[in-house]
Amino acid sequence: MAKFTSSGKCRSCGQLVGKAQMTNHLKSCLKRTTPSASGLSETRSYHLVAEAPYSPYWLHLQPGLKFSYEYDFGSTTNLSFRVVAELPGLPKKRSFALFARNEPPLIPCGQCSKPATQVCAEHVYEDAGWLCDACAAEHECGEDMLMPIINSPRTGVCGYVGPSQEP
């Protein structure tokens, strides 16, 4: 799949910010928008970036000290996490906070360059596997191998079709 530049929406201020600039934006934005210490738990927490290698999908989050991620153990999706800052505790009664998430990437159809809407599980790692509806109808692998493109690093993996709704 081709390389993409992506942007995401800051959940604190609503600004659309590029992936490379999001960490610095959140450092300054969260200073302005974080509640007073009385509204926070005393537990330490961290600002993490989660990314899927070779993928346009990413997010910034603030998990509490207990953090786990479960995925389809038959078809592993590799995610990398890196701590970019230590933060005051989470707002009370919350187990995590989503700071930012990539906007759905605009992926061109590998056949005609219109926006892709489906991906072929057999050809997910090739440009030709990303298809618009018209090209998908003609694709050699057939309808059974096609899945919708959703805003997730699991797109095209082992029959994963969602949800792509964020918490």
Given a contact cutoff of 8 angstroms between Cβ atoms, the answer to whether 118 and 149 are in contact is: yes
**Could you tell me how far CA 110 lies from the centroid of its own chain?**
22
Q: How far is CA 151 from CA 8, 24, 68, 75, 83, in A?
A: 12, 23, 20, 18, 23
Beta-carbon contacts of residue 152 (< 8 Å; ≥ 6 apart): 57, 160, 162, 164
Looking at the fold, whether 48 and 65 belong to one and the same domain comes out as: yes
Task: Note whether 19 and 46 are same-domain residues.
Answer: yes
More confident residue, 116 or 20: 116
Domain boundaries, position 22: 7-102
Query: Is 43 within a domain?
Result: yes
Query: Percentage of the chain surpassing pLDDT 70?
Result: 73
pLDDT of residue 43: 62
The pLDDT value given to residue 60: 79
Candidate from 40-44, 86-90, 155-159 with smallest mean pLDDT: 40-44
Report the distance separating Cα 76 and Cα 162, nearest Å. 16
Residue 167 lies in a domain: no
**φ/ψ (deg, to 5) at 63:** -80, 160
**What span, in angstroms and rounded, lies between the C-alpha atoms of 25 and 17?**
8
- Counting residues of the chain whose pLDDT is more than 90, the rounded percentage is 26
pTM for the whole structure: 0.62
Type of residue at 131: L
pLDDT category at 164 given cuts 50, 70, 90 is: low
Among 102, 121, 145, residue at a domain's last position: 102
What 3-state class would DSSP assign to 155? coil
Of 102, 117, 147, the residue at which a domain comes to its end is: 102
Number of neighbours of residue 161 by Cβ within 10 angstroms: 13
Instruction: State the total domains in the chain.
Output: 2
Are the CB atoms for 165 and 104 separated by under 8 Å? Answer: no
